[in-house]
C-alpha cells in the first residue's frame, strides 16, 4: 500500500523507557503526547483544518490536558499556525486508519522488542524513524 500511495507517510518514534524519569512514567500518556508532538505538528502546521483520530489513551492525562489541546498549543503558539484540529473519538475496531496504525506500531514494536525484522525491513524504506534515549 505505501509503495502505491506515496502520499502516505509513516513515522515511528522508539523510546528507551528505562531512561525516562519515574515521575513521567507514572503517567505514560504524557510521554506519548510528547512523542506525538515531536512529529505531527510539522505534518499539519500548513493545513487549514485537520480531522484527528487519536488513540483513546490520549483523551486526558492526569494534568488535565488532552493531546489535541497540547498539539493546538504547540501549533498556535510555537509554530504560528492557525490549523484547526477536530478530534474524533473512535476505537480502532471501528476505524480502518487506526487499525492500520496499530498494525504498523505492532510491527515496529516487535522489531525492537524481539528482533523480528521481516515485516519491519519491508516497511523501513517507507518509514522515518526517530529514537529517544534521553
Sign of CA dihedral 107, 94, 61, 26: negative
Mean pLDDT of 117-122: 74
Q: Which residues contact 39 (CB under 8 A, 6 or more apart)?
A: 11, 13, 130
What does the pLDDT read at residue 76?
96
Contact yes or no for 90/53 (Cβ under 8 A): yes
Q: What's the CA gap between 63 and 74, in Å, rounded?
A: 16
Q: Show the 3-state SS of the chain.
A: CCCCCCCCCEEEEEECHHHCCHHHHCCHHHHHHHHHHHHHHHHHCCCCEEEECCCHHHCCCCCCCCHHHHHHHHHHHHCCCCCEEEECCCCHHHCHHHHHHHHHHHHHHHHHHHCCCHHHHHHHCCEEEEEECC
pLDDT, tens digit, 9 for 90 and up, residues 37-46: 998 999 999 9
Mean pLDDT of 71-76: 94
Share of the chain above pLDDT 90, in %: 21
pLDDT at 58 over 60: no
Amino acid at each position: 500500500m505505501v509503495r502505491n500511495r506515496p502520499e502516505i507517510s509513516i513515522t515511528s518514534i522508539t523510546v528507551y523507557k528505562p531512561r525516562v524519569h519515574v515521575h513521567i512514567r507514572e503517567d505514560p500518556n504524557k510521554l506519548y503526547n510528547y512523542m506525538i508532538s515531536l512529529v505531527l505538528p510539522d505534518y499539519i502546521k500548513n493545513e487549514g483544518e485537520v480531522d484527528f483520530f487519536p488513540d483513546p489513551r490520549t483523551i486526558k492525562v492526569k494534568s488535565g490536558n488532552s493531546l489535541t489541546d497540547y498539539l493546538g498549543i504547540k501549533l498556535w503558539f510555537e509554530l504560528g499556525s492557525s490549523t484547526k484540529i477536530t478530534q474524533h473519538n473512535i476505537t480502532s475496531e471501528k476505524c480502518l486508519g487506526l487499525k492500520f496504525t496499530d498494525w504498523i506500531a505492532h510491527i515496529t514494536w516487535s522489531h525492537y522488542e524481539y528482533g523480528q525484522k521481516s515485516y519491519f525491513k519491508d516497511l523501513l524504506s517507507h518509514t522515518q524513524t526517530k529514537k529517544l534515549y534521553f
